Amino acid sequence: MTIVETVFVVSTVFNVLCMFLIFVVFANMIKIKTLIEQMHMGLGGVVGKVVAIEQTTNKMAQSFTEFIKMAEAVVDRMDDDERISSIYKTSDGKFSARTLDELINKIRSSGEESEYFSSDELDKLKNLFSEDEDLFDDEDDENS
């Protein structure tokens, strides 16, 4: 074999090996491209899920805020009801009033006060409640 033939054979073998390596690199690039596309699609799905979770969290926060406002209104009404709920009633339930004076006046105006108490007993009862209120007022003044 001559030198030209030897160079030709070596260069042909080298070119075939280079073509084979280029083909392998090309095949790997196609696989990598496919994997990158799959990763891109997967990340797009993850972003979609994160956005959906964010929207759900926002809705929950708004609902919780509305719940707090509603609960606050209910608690305010309950506080108002507790202030109003002190109603004085007779044991038979015939008379009821929001204040003791009002109850006594109802009993007196009906003419049935002798069934419940005499005038002196009613006055004593009234004084008893007014003394209790004075005690609470004194305690409040001391705490201030």
Half-sphere exposure of 99 (CA within 13 A, CB side): 6
Predicted local confidence at residue 5, as pLDDT: 92
Predicted local confidence at residue 39, as pLDDT: 96
Predicted local confidence at residue 111, as pLDDT: 74
Model pLDDT for residues 89-128, shown as the tens digit of each residue: 777 777 888 777 787 788 778 877 677 676 677 677 677 7
Model pLDDT for residues 6-19, shown as the tens digit of each residue: 999 999 999 999 99
Predicted local confidence at residue 43, as pLDDT: 96
Structure tokens at 15: 């070119």
Using CA atoms, how far apart are residues 142 and 134, in angstroms rounded to an integer? 12
Model pLDDT for residues 35-85, shown as the tens digit of each residue: 999 999 999 999 999 999 999 999 999 999 999 988 887 887 776 655 555
Using CA atoms, how far apart are residues 76 and 82, in angstroms rounded to an integer? 10
**β pairing state of 88-89 and 96-97:** antiparallel
89: which strand partners? 96
Backbone angles phi, psi at 133, to 5 degrees: -65, -40
Backbone angles phi, psi at 89, to 5 degrees: -135, 150
Does 144 have pLDDT greater than 80? no
